[in-house]
Structure 1
């Protein structure tokens, strides 16, 4: 049986100078120019001239390559094929980009952080990346870290961390709302054996400062994190910046005593996996329950450093796997999950809101499935700069998807790349104007066209 009844291909040769494999880079990088990415990089980066000349072009090339699917320095050659230079402009060689990254110090990485922050602010002003100013729902700032696995002993900073995997630790802060998918507002690369909470106070300050520079300013902000980040540094930094907190706590003796003080009548059954809603009684038939108790965090410190709030506790039955083979237990035992919060949400809503913190795991998985598939250099600061560029590429891709179609607003980077970026095109010239001829009957042609008209229309001024 012949597949699709097509004739056999007689030959294949790479000789067409007017083809572009990723035509979606044209509106994508036009959007980056509207947001001032090249100018921001030229203005903020002070990499030595011998390696850092044309910093704006190099940063933009790194972001473009990552958006096209590059996950290593050699992959940046994707920008140097066919007619790509005619529509994007010439891109530096991969070796030049590698030298540029390796020339960076920690100070230069912090400068690149400033570029990423301002780039995000400009993107939010030019698109609906962070929703619209009319929305007033609570802004969620989520913190979490992950280990990017590395191989070989030449990687600076690589070590065995909490996951038991040899790698380097990347921590992110994302912002999201009820209608906005997570967007990265701050990032940092750390040694593989760094504790999760190391440097978290500064990261929170950076994340909240970036958030305040967007139209999200003035809205309620809730910082969410897991137990690895439960510390006075994080809570204090968030509260000082005007945000509320919702942080999982460790089961230390103080927390256990607070849980033991909760009366049996205080527990409320909640919706949980495999729960059933009883329409007659109007309650959930579930094995999970929640309750709360007033709690003072960091009570062992001096009074000025203590924080008053609530301890919200969720309990689920602790199923004994061996109970079926012997005598049944005389009473139910429970597993408790508690978090400390300063919000005034009711118990059930506070629990539901805190559990949605897991959305940041999708961002980690997305980045690891694209530019952070691995860290390409042996130099730690080069990898730190690579992380910042990967975040800018992630945010830019998300902004493009939000502009192109509401259906793509929450799609993964791989999906956005397949539908909007990795679109082949043939170049044609008429009256000194370049035209892109894209595939007929492309399923997402309308979304691509909307993105093109937005990005390649009249230029919008970008604040720097």
Structure 2
């Protein structure tokens, strides 16, 4: 429902919501005690639960099946302002908080894997193991088509590239302009640079390709032109490695689409990950995984209930499908849920509900 703190869960105890949902709906204080009881082992079990929910949802129709699967991996900063939180530290942006790592599905925005890390953790910490677990999870979930991983430069290492190649994954990995890379870029003939037509008029962008350690390296360079050129007259280079064999313009354009992972991060920060509610690291780790499961449930509701629609922000889906004001009445031993007349998105709700109810029970 968009809660960003433990106290917000009190919403589920209001009115007759408890009767509608059923089950155990504890008070916020009890939820806090429940979270603090989690250990590292419990968090790993929750992580397995996240993987199992993905498997079941994909089998129910939300998965890519034999179609292409594109996965984006990135880290982000979860700011914390308390002074007693375990694992909190200052990271590269000089902000105090945690440094989670996240893998999301590009075409749906669902979270495929997540791991909470200490604030002082380097961006590449645990990257290889994280990707190993991601590869295994996607395989168990039943994705059999082409698979592409698009991480940022913190994932650039030979071990990870080797794991991806062994698993028959395609990759498109940003790399840093460090020793050896500028020299390879300088060797590219000026005549081979291709100008991109979709760049703003106050600048210029070109792409070209070469090799680095025997692997295909595509380089994008940009600069300002006209009056703005005085601010930054030189070319700026953005290289990445890939094992794809498609045309350079297609590969480069799809590599830039890695930025869609920020939309998933935005949605998570717009709800539970706006805050980390506990002073204990294990409790906040559990909170992170649980928030991703809740986020995925919203995404799967749209994927299965409203197939073919544009991917919308989680806030929009909550407002249109989940946060509908209603009233429960009981007549002839039956409960009836009354929803408001002329709800602007009633057709989406009416269309999605029977599709979700018709899903077979998976065991």
Q: Shorter-normalised TM-score: what interval?
A: over 0.9
Structure 2 residue runs of 5 or longer lacking an equivalent are none
* Deviation at residue 448 of structure 1 after TM alignment: 1.2
* Deviation at residue 343 of structure 1 after TM alignment: 1.1
Do the aligned residues in 1 keep the contact of 2:2 with 2:270 (CA within 8 Å)? no
- Name the stretch that deviates more: 239-248 or 386-395: 239-248
Distance 2:357 2:249 in 1: 47
- Three-state SS of the structure 2 residue aligned to 1:288 is strand
* Deviation at residue 182 of structure 1 after TM alignment: 2.3
1:168-197 Cα offsets, whole Å, 9 max, x none, are: 011101123xxx322211000000010111
* Counterpart for residue 181 of structure 1: 108
* Deviation at residue 318 of structure 1 after TM alignment: 5.3
Distance 1:393 1:97 in 2: 16
Check 1:324–1:383 CA distance in 2 against 1; reply closer, same or farther (3 A cut).
closer
1:377-427 Cα offsets, whole Å, 9 max, x none, are: 111010000000111011100111223334755111110010001001111
* Counterpart for residue 390 of structure 1: 291
Check 1:96–1:323 CA distance in 2 against 1; reply closer, same or farther (3 A cut).
closer
* Correspondence 1:437 to 2:312: no
* Correspondence 1:343 to 2:261: no
* Counterpart for residue 163 of structure 2: 237
2:223 to 317, 320, 323: 317
Distance 1:322 1:355 in 2: 24
1:71-103 Cα offsets, whole Å, 9 max, x none, are: 111111111111111111141222222212111
TM-score, normalised by the number of residues in structure 2: 0.93
1:293-317 Cα offsets, whole Å, 9 max, x none, are: 1221xxxxxxxxxxx3211011122
1:322-343 Cα offsets, whole Å, 9 max, x none, are: 9769xxx9xx731111011111
* Correspondence 1:365 to 2:266: yes
Pairs within 5 Å for 1:112-127: 112-127=46-61
Distance 2:128 2:75 in 1: 14
Distance 1:374 1:261 in 2: 48
Pairs within 5 Å for 1:122-137: 122-127=56-61, 129-131=62-64, 133=65, 136=67
1:280-301 Cα offsets, whole Å, 9 max, x none, are: xxxxxx82111101221xxxxx
- Three-state SS of the structure 2 residue aligned to 1:190 is coil
Pairs within 5 Å for 1:44-443: 68-89=1-22, 90-127=24-61, 129-131=62-64, 133=65, 136=67, 138-176=68-106, 180-217=107-144, 219-274=145-200, 287-296=204-213, 308-317=214-223, 333-406=234-307, 409-443=310-344
Structure 1 residue runs of 5 or longer lacking an equivalent are 1-67, 277-285, 297-307
* Deviation at residue 108 of structure 1 after TM alignment: 0.9
- Three-state SS of the structure 2 residue aligned to 1:92 is coil
Distance 1:324 1:364 in 2: 35
Do the aligned residues in 2 keep the contact of 1:148 with 1:170 (CA within 8 Å)? yes
* Deviation at residue 165 of structure 1 after TM alignment: 0.8
1:131-176 Cα offsets, whole Å, 9 max, x none, are: 4x3x53x321111010100112111111110111101011101123
- Three-state SS of the structure 2 residue aligned to 1:207 is helix
Distance 1:112 1:374 in 2: 19
Check 1:381–1:259 CA distance in 2 against 1; reply closer, same or farther (3 A cut).
same
- Three-state SS of the structure 1 residue aligned to 2:296 is helix
- Three-state SS of the structure 2 residue aligned to 1:392 is helix
Check 1:324–1:150 CA distance in 2 against 1; reply closer, same or farther (3 A cut).
closer
Do the aligned residues in 1 keep the contact of 2:304 with 2:356 (CA within 8 Å)? no
Distance 2:230 2:50 in 1: 56
Distance 1:345 1:320 in 2: 34
Q: How many residues align?
A: 362
Distance 1:207 1:324 in 2: 45
Larger radius of gyration: 1
Check 1:233–1:98 CA distance in 2 against 1; reply closer, same or farther (3 A cut).
farther
